[in-house]
Structures are given as structure tokens and as C-alpha cells.
Structure 1
């Protein structure tokens, strides 16, 4: 018996009649996608959503009456669902627009061909279809106000996922998230470094954690985020504005400093040498990723042993799971984001399945846990 294909219902919002026609043609090539409605601005689209109940919304940015940014904010407040912004104004040079949209609740952005020619849309057809398929499986949360209710801020930036071919997997049943514990097995830990790995949904999850850490945070922080080429600088600048700690790109030979957040350079793994200094290398990708979370976690475990802490956040695939196991096996502290607050529960789920996560916590509890342990003994 042939398994019935679940059709992804898409609403397309764009003030260009040509763009509407082209996008409908592109989506029509996939039997898994159906365009159930179109609108020429945000106001029209808002009226259609309750009636059509789309699974994914694609919207332009610049439109009269209600633009894509305003529309995104309204949707995430009233009818939360995955939003893909398809625009000529989300190119590599438009990082201000991109981060505004992600802040408002867009899950992903996709640049239109810069020429605007219909023929050039063919070159992006499969990538665009893949993005729609991925977005249809993304969890989103209602946003009541853009500056409050931080539990609802974990649903952005699918845009930053490097490998869109990763498949979504069903989450297993896991133990309920643990509250902030005082476990005697770990009560005497002295943590000297914190490593955090993330992918789908990661930038907003990172922001949630880093925003809560004080300017006196006593150890270095290494973050590995799967991100599209050309957007690392924008991510670093955005997080720097949201954090009390300085955020920078690591340099080979540099010794990690307490209270500084480091990211690997684009297309580089980030490791530590025998003296604890950074090594940025372009050795082959691991599991399709460079930088690889597992590579960094393994290196941190090897150098810092039981003084290491590893946190694995929302993301597709399994990068970081083996690395978190390495940290756990040498006696370090390990935390996985829970399913309820993860956009995609792939990476944390894999770490949990390996028995690598000592604690499974909501994104809003992780910073408290870190301060609870890293503050001890200081």
C-alpha cells in the first residue's frame, strides 16, 4: 500500500505579480508542497491565515500597507507558524534586515536572485523547496511582545543551518526536564571552560543563555554554531549587543580569556593545543560540518578534563553528541536542551540517547545551572 504524502500548505505573500507566479511554479514542482493562497501585502495575508491555516508562510520584506517585518510580528503574536522571508533585501550585505526579521520571529530568510530575472529562479528551485520542507517541521512559539516573554524566543534562524539536507527525526520519549539541582556528585566541580554547540534555532538560544551571564563570568566560553558562510560577523555583532560579555572570533595561538565568548572562524574547526591555546584548522568536515561541535567538545574534554562544561542546544542531526559524551566521560559537566524548548530536538536527543547529558533543561534554566556550578569554588 502506497504511503500517502503529507502535503505542506504554503501561503505566499508578495507585492510582485511576477514573483507570485514564479514562486507558485517552483512549489508546484514538488508533490509535497501546495500553495493554498497568495496575498500582495501583510494586511491581506493576515485575513487569510485563519481561513487557510497554512503550515508555512513565505513573505517578501518590502510591501505597501504592511511590510514583511510588521507582518512577521503580527503573525507571531496572533497565528504563530514558521515564516520564510524571501526577499532581495536579505543578501549577505543586508545583515541588519536579517537580524531584525529573526528578532521579530522569522525562522529563515532566503535571498531572491539579485537579477530578478525569472530564469534565474531555476537555480534556486531545489534549495527553496528543501527549505520549505524543513520549515514545515519547525516548532514555533507565540510572541506576545518583542522585548518580553523570553521563553518564546527560541524559534528563529533556520537560515543559519549549514546543511539543509539533514533529515528531521521524531523525538523519543525522554525523562522530564530536571530542575536546577544540587547534586552531590557534581557539587565540588570547578569549571574552567564552557563550550556550547548549536544548530537550527541556535542563535536565539545562544542569545537567551548569553544574555543572562554577568560581566564577571569567570571562565572562557567557546560557541560553535552551524551558520551559513558570510553571516558569522553579523551573528557575533548581534550577540555582542545582547550580551554583557565581549564576543569575538577566535585566533590561532590565542589563549582563551575568562569572560570572553569565542566563535571559530568561518569554515574552520576550533580546537585547543597542548598549551590550551586555540588552533583554527581547515581539516576535513566532520559529519558534514566545519566547524564541528564534536571536534571542539573533544578537544575541550582532552585538555580540561573534569573542569570542562559542555552544553548542546537545539539543532538537526547529531553533531556534538559524541563530543558531549567525551566531556561526560572525563567527569565534566554536561547539559542538553530539552525537547519542549528546542526548535529541532535532533542534536540534544542524540546526546541524551548516548547517556552523555547529565542534565536536560529548558533553555531558560541553562544559564541558572551554569551560574550555579561555575560560581562554586570562586
Structure 2
């Protein structure tokens, strides 16, 4: 891949250049010392991937990401020192269109864990850029008895631009009793916990990462928390499954949507939001074919119109709506808890 590097620190930029240059699969197309330069260079020589710093003078990584996605869209990986100390900015950048986040490799030396993690992220993004379709993984074996405590399940899938989109869909309302919500967001396991805490600060419902063995819980938003795929069995218990291990989308929206279609006998709604690739489209179609209600985000309001487009092409979405109308549609369908 052709890669652009954006970092106001010459030492950090050199560390990134060194890691990229050490791989025979990638080339450094250009290096920018700030967000404004990156926006200009993306328009003059668009790379396959931008390694974007967060904290920079004049124009930070969040604003640079937003402008690049508006004027010269390409894949963006946030690479910054101490990303856990800038969680708010990380999720704003992801809401603007960044795909993922990782820490800047060590400034000195070579071949460390930071180098390997960065190259692994780049490799995964390369897969996402090449993928045109993916086979959904099989869910864990069904168990015999079904639970009826949750009467409505709202399943939300998102990728690039997803954190902000999920928050906007769920902000300002509390669903009627007996409604459970599960969110599958493509995000590294290291940031799933911070994402759940951040989302909980944006909405009025409790949010927590889903643990293996959890049951669906009415009134609580459960967020997929590992790089393995979130699955649900016939007893409506949640588990994690590494298979398929080579699937580029982790955790996979398709896998969970297929589980909902197969195992949830009550009323359910599937919502597929902004994201790169096709993950979630086949699963949303399975939900629709199982008699569930399905919604996909429209092109104009999507940071990246990949996953919702694939759903539209398959006829998987009953309704294709702007982001601001999805929350309204869910309120009307699911109802609102009385105060």
C-alpha cells in the first residue's frame, strides 16, 4: 500500500517511516508535519492509508480526518502517543471516519512490539480495502431452551465512523421495558472498554462490555469487547468465537446478526451504520428474511458508505434512513420507557 504519514514530531514521523519502510509490502508516499498539510497532500497524491497523529498544533487529527474524508476520502489509522490518555479525541476521530487506533512505535530501536502491532493493523486494513464480500461465520452450537425475559432486541452494527453514529442513534431516549441492546463496533479489543465508558457518557442508558456467558439484559447496552466474534446461542447467552480467524472484520457484525436471525424468536430490529466493506449486509438480510425489522444508514449521512451500501444492494434493509432519523424510527417502533 502507498502510505501517508502525519506527525508534527520529526522523531515520531521517522519511527513510523522506519516501520513502513522495513516492510516490502508498503511504501511511504509522503510525510506531513501537520493536519493542514495532510489534507492538501491527500488531494494532490491520495494514499491508500494515512497514519494520522491526534495532537498537533493548528489542525489536530480529528479535524484533519474530517476534512480528508470530505475532500479526498481514504483509509485513516490513528497512530498517536498514549492513545488511552486521549480517548475522547480517539472516538471523535473515529466518528469522523478513522478506521482504528494504535500507539506510536518506540522512537528508538526496531522490531519491538509497537512495530509488530502497527504492521498488523496495516495488514488488517489492507484486507479490508481488498475485501468485496465475506462469508459469515457459523454461530456456536444452539442450546435447547429459549428465554423470554427480553421481548425486543435491538442489534446495532457499525465500523468506520461508527462511535459517533451509535451515540447519536441512542442519545436522548430510553427504550421501553424488556428491550435489550447489543452493539458490535469494529474496534480493537484494547479500546472496547474505553468505548463502552465513552458511549455511556453520551447516552442515558447504562453501557458495559459484554462478557462471555452474559445473558441479554433489558435496559442495558452491551458492547462487543474482544477481537473475537460475538455470538448468541439459543438460550440467548453471549459468547466469543475466534472462528473464522482470518476474517478481516473483527468482531463481525454478520456473525451476530445471523445469530439474532437464527435464535431470537421475539421481535428484533437490526441497524447497520456507517463502515468500510460489506460486513453486516448478509446478516441484516438474514434478519429480514427471519421477519425482523431492518434499517440501514443512508449515503449522505455515512462517514463511509460501504456496509450500508452493501445492505441496500442485497435488499437487506426495509428502510434506508439518514442518521438523525434512525433514532426517531427506533423510538416509534420500540417505544420509550415512561419516566
TM bracket (short chain): 0.7 to 0.9
> Aligned residue for 1:99?
90
Q: Rate the CA distance shift 1:375–1:74 in 2: closer, same or farther, 3 A.
A: same
Number of equivalenced pairs: 310
Deviation at 1:77, TM superposition (A): 7.8
Q: Rate the CA distance shift 1:259–1:274 in 2: closer, same or farther, 3 A.
A: same
List alignment gaps of at least 5 residues for structure 2. 133-149
Q: Rate the CA distance shift 1:46–1:334 in 2: closer, same or farther, 3 A.
A: same
**Alignment pair present for 1:241 and 2:201:** yes
CA contact (8 A) 1:306 1:327 kept: no
Q: Rate the CA distance shift 1:340–1:237 in 2: closer, same or farther, 3 A.
A: same
CA contact (8 A) 1:306 1:331 kept: no
* 1:48-87 equivalence runs, <5 A: 49=40, 55=46, 60-61=53-54, 66=57, 69=60, 72-73=62-63, 76=66, 85-87=78-80
> Aligned residue for 2:29?
34
For 1:9 and 1:125, the matched residues in 2 are separated by 13
> Aligned residue for 1:14?
8
CA contact (8 A) 1:306 1:333 kept: no
> Aligned residue for 1:327?
287
For 2:152 and 2:95, the matched residues in 1 are separated by 35
Q: CA RMSD in A?
A: 4.1
For 2:96 and 2:306, the matched residues in 1 are separated by 21
> Aligned residue for 1:166?
128
Q: Rate the CA distance shift 1:67–1:230 in 2: closer, same or farther, 3 A.
A: farther
For 1:359 and 1:333, the matched residues in 2 are separated by 9
**Alignment pair present for 1:202 and 2:172:** no
For 1:246 and 1:292, the matched residues in 2 are separated by 23
CA contact (8 A) 1:321 1:348 kept: yes
**Alignment pair present for 1:280 and 2:273:** no
* 1:1-378 equivalence runs, <5 A: 10=4, 12-16=6-10, 18-21=11-14, 23=16, 26=20, 34-35=29-30, 38-39=32-33, 45=36, 49=40, 55=46, 60-61=53-54, 66=57, 69=60, 72-73=62-63, 76=66, 85-90=78-83, 93-94=84-85, 96=87, 98-99=89-90, 102=93, 105=96, 107=98, 109-117=101-109, 130=122, 163-167=125-129, 192-214=152-174, 219-276=179-236, 278-285=237-244, 287-305=247-265, 307-375=267-335
Secondary structure of the residue aligned to 1:117 is: coil
Secondary structure of the residue aligned to 1:212 is: coil
TM-score, structure 2 as length reference: 0.72
Deviation at 1:217, TM superposition (A): 6.3
Deviation at 1:113, TM superposition (A): 1.2
Q: Rate the CA distance shift 1:225–1:214 in 2: closer, same or farther, 3 A.
A: same
List alignment gaps of at least 5 residues for structure 1. 1-6, 132-161, 171-189
CA contact (8 A) 1:314 1:344 kept: yes
Q: Larger C-alpha radius of gyration, 1 or 2?
A: 1
CA contact (8 A) 2:62 2:93 kept: no
Q: Rate the CA distance shift 1:201–1:264 in 2: closer, same or farther, 3 A.
A: same
Deviation string 1:69-90 (CA, Å, 9 cap, x unpaired) is: 4x74488589966665533222
CA contact (8 A) 2:62 2:89 kept: no
Secondary structure of the residue aligned to 1:323 is: helix
For 2:65 and 2:209, the matched residues in 1 are separated by 35
CA contact (8 A) 1:14 1:20 kept: yes
For 1:362 and 1:230, the matched residues in 2 are separated by 30
Q: Rate the CA distance shift 1:32–1:364 in 2: closer, same or farther, 3 A.
A: farther
Deviation at 1:24, TM superposition (A): 5.6
Deviation string 1:1-34 (CA, Å, 9 cap, x unpaired) is: xxxxxx9795744133x44455567479888763
CA contact (8 A) 2:94 2:160 kept: no
Q: Rate the CA distance shift 1:27–1:206 in 2: closer, same or farther, 3 A.
A: farther
